[in-house]
């Protein structure tokens, strides 16, 4: 009985995953890397991934920052400190209004009482700043839905283009330099035809950008080991 | 709304400060009715008392709460402990912008504070304004209550940032440094960015 139940659940999971794959629209992505220095995260050292939140026109999404952190920590032995924990421990110096934009600002910040010692205590080796966002760039079509006593239905067709653009700057706290930059750009078109029921085919640009940027950052952070 | 705020990572000023929160400050509440969006109520009294308690505790060596101000004694003291100065924060204005009126469909909050610093004799030494700003992370924009409290919380954290930075204004630093024991040299602080 348990086996049948397990098989039934597996079938449902596989079916749901298959449906998601079928209903996902295409995306294409470009990953770029600029390296100024080889880096290596030694045992006992940690990194932190933080989003840029100081711009008025957009804000780097918290879920994207978390996604990058997971992409690094799940596939390597690198300890990634959660963004909020890091920001709270160094309050108020990494808030949108005070976070250093350039390395020179970081040098000034290190002169402040308790900042350097806290970074050392947390074992921070690299600060990875994520800047960017996912946005809908254009939309077309229309969808009309209605409800009556016999039920609800929709008819129409909608399409929209999405673009995810992110750049990660890797600051090396130990060597006091910018080790490099990795950027990811993903574009895709989503479709939603509706004949009674809307059938969304979503271009998962943010997920694609996270996967691409995460993989490249992993390579970047472990390249020192390869070189040795 | 309540909430905890992180203690600021700053060099402690070795002075004893009294703080007085008015009833208006402790129970501050903003209510706003919009024609197409309903009524919004934000209560920040408890949260801002919690915030300022944490900020002052981190910034000064000793903080004494004063139930009443002006003090009944001259110079002002708290349970026999003489105070170097008394700080009185006040909420002046709360502004809220809702998604219906913003291009990016977000909640935005502005909180205006006025900080007054009095000497032990009760004379006003300085006062300065703080304008704090907070907005919702975009992912919350559909959840009205969560988004609104998130925007307010961001604004309160920003108020904390500005308060800490405001302690570095030259006129105030000069006065604070003059109160320090003579053996202690004035602090040299640099502004980041």
Q: What is the DSSP string of B146-168?
A: HHHHHHHHHHHHHHHHHHHHHTT
A2 domain-assigned: no
- So what's the pLDDT on residue A33? 93
The set of residues, in sequence order, having a beta carbon less than 8 Å from that of A226 and lying 6+ positions away, is: none
Q: Which residues of A touch B9 (CB under 8 A)?
A: 89-93, 112-115, 118
Res. A7 pLDDT band, cuts 50 70 90: very low
- Smallest Cβ–Cβ distance between A97 and the set B6, B135, B161 belongs to B161
8 Å CB contact between B153 and B1: yes
8 Å CB contact between B48 and B159: yes
Q: Which residues of A touch B146 (CB under 8 A)?
A: none
Cα distance between residue B107 and residue A135, in whole Å? 18
Cα distance between residue B191 and residue A105, in whole Å? 9
| Residue whose C-alpha is closest to residue B134's, from B36, B42, B31, B4 | B42
Res. B137 pLDDT band, cuts 50 70 90: low
Q: Count how many Cα atoms sit within 13 Å of the Cα of residue B22 in the half-sphere of its side chain.
A: 14
Res. B193 pLDDT band, cuts 50 70 90: very low
8 Å CB contact between B5 and B51: yes
Q: How confident is the model over B34-78, as pLDDT tens digits?
A: 887 888 899 999 999 999 999 999 999 999 999 988 888 888 888
> What is the domain extent for residue A115?
30-134+165-186+204-227
In a mutational test of the B interface, the residue from A91, A97, A122, A164 whose CB has the highest number of chain B CBs within 10 Å is: A91
Cα distance between residue B23 and residue B40, in whole Å? 22
8 Å CB contact between B25 and B71: no
Phi and psi torsions of A100, nearest 5°: -65, 135
Beta bridge partners of A76: none
Cα distance between residue A130 and residue A109, in whole Å? 19
A55 domain-assigned: yes
Q: How many residues does chain B have?
A: 193
- Smallest Cβ–Cβ distance between B8 and the set A59, A91, A105 belongs to A91
8 Å CB contact between A93 and B165: no
* Closest residue in A to B7 (Cα–Cα): A91
- Smallest Cβ–Cβ distance between B193 and the set A62, A92, A101 belongs to A101
The set of residues, in sequence order, having a beta carbon less than 8 Å from that of B54 and lying 6+ positions away, is: B4, B5, B6, B7, B8, B160
The set of residues, in sequence order, having a beta carbon less than 8 Å from that of A84 and lying 6+ positions away, is: none
pLDDT average, residue stretch B16-32: 95
Res. A13 pLDDT band, cuts 50 70 90: very low
Count of structural domains, chain A = 1
* Closest residue in A to B11 (Cα–Cα): A113
- So what's the pLDDT on residue A106? 92
- Smallest Cβ–Cβ distance between A113 and the set B11, B135, B138 belongs to B11
Q: How confident is the model over A114-134, as pLDDT tens digits?
A: 999 999 999 999 999 999 999
Residue A44 predicted with pLDDT over 90: no
Q: How confident is the model over A17-35, as pLDDT tens digits?
A: 445 445 677 889 999 999 9
Question: Cβ–Cβ contacts within 10 Å for residue A14, how many?
Answer: 10
Q: Which two tokens stand for residue B89?
A: 């924060």
Rounded to two decimals, what is the model's pTM?
A: 0.84
pLDDT average, residue stretch B78-92: 92
Question: Cβ–Cβ contacts within 10 Å for residue A11, how many?
Answer: 10
Between the alpha carbon of residue B64 and those of residues A81, B148, B167, the distances in Å are: 36, 32, 18
CATH number of domain containing A123? 3.40.50
ipTM for the predicted complex comes to 0.86
Q: Which helix (H) or strand (E) holds B26?
A: helix B23-26
- So what's the pLDDT on residue A94? 96
Query: Which residue matches tokens 């006062």?
Result: B127
Query: Which residue matches tokens 């990811």?
Result: A184
Strand A177-198 relative to strand A151-172: parallel, antiparallel, unpaired?
A: antiparallel
Question: Cβ–Cβ contacts within 10 Å for residue A88, how many?
Answer: 16
- So what's the pLDDT on residue B66? 93
Between the alpha carbon of residue B99 and those of residues B1, B36, B43, B132, B147, the distances in Å are: 21, 11, 20, 19, 10
> B183 CB near a chain A CB, below 8 Å?
no
CB contact under 8 A, B192 and A105: yes
| Residue whose C-alpha is closest to residue B98's, from B147, B131, B137 | B147
């Amino acid at each position: 009985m348990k086996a049948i139940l397990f098989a039934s659940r597996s079938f449902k999971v596989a079916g749901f995953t298959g449906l998601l794959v079928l209903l996902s629209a295409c995306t294409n992505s470009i990953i770029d890397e600029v390296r100024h220095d080889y880096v290596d995260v030694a045992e006992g050292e940690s990194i932190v991934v933080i989003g840029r939140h100081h711009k008025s026109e957009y804000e780097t999404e918290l879920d994207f920052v978390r996604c990058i952190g997971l992409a690094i920590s799940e596939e390597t032995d690198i300890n990634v400190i959660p963004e909020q924990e890091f920001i709270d421990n160094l309050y108020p110096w990494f808030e949108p209004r005070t976070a250093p934009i350039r390395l020179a600002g970081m040098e000034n910040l290190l002169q402040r009482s308790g900042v350097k010692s806290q970074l050392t205590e947390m074992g921070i080796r690299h600060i990875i700043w994520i800047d960017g966002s996912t946005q809908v760039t254009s939309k077309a079509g229309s969808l009309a839905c209605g409800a009556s006593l016999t039920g609800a239905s929709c008819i129409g067709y909608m399409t929209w283009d999405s673009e995810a653009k992110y750049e990660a700057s890797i600051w090396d706290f130990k060597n006091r330099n910018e080790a490099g930059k990795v950027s990811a750009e993903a574009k895709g078109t989503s479709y939603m035809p509706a004949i009674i029921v809307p059938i969304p085919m979503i271009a998962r640009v943010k997920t694609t950008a996270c996967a691409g940027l995460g993989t490249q950052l992993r390579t970047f952070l472990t390249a020192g080991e390869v070189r040795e | 709304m309540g909430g905890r705020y992180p203690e600021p990572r700053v060099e402690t000023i070795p002075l004893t400060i009294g703080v007085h929160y008015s009833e208006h400050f402790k129970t501050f509440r903003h209510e706003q009715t919009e024609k197409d969006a309903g009524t919004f109520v934000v209560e920040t009294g408890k949260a801002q008392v919690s915030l300022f308690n944490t900020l002052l505790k981190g910034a000064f060596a000793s903080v004494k709460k004063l139930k009443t101000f002006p003090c009944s004694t001259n110079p002002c003291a708290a349970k026999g402990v003489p105070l170097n100065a008394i700080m009185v924060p006040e909420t002046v204005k709360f502004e809220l912008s809702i998604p219906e009126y913003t291009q990016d469909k977000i909640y935005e909050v502005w909180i205006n504070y006025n900080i007054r610093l009095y000497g032990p004799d009760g004379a006003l030494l300085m006062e300065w304004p703080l304008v704090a700003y907070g907005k919702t992370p975009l992912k919350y924009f559909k959840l009205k209550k969560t988004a609104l409290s998130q925007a307010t919380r961001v604004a309160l954290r920003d108020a904390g940032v500005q308060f800490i930075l405001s302690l570095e204004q030259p006129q105030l630093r000069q006065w604070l440094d003059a109160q320090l024991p003579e053996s202690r040299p004035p602090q040299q602080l640099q502004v980041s960015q």
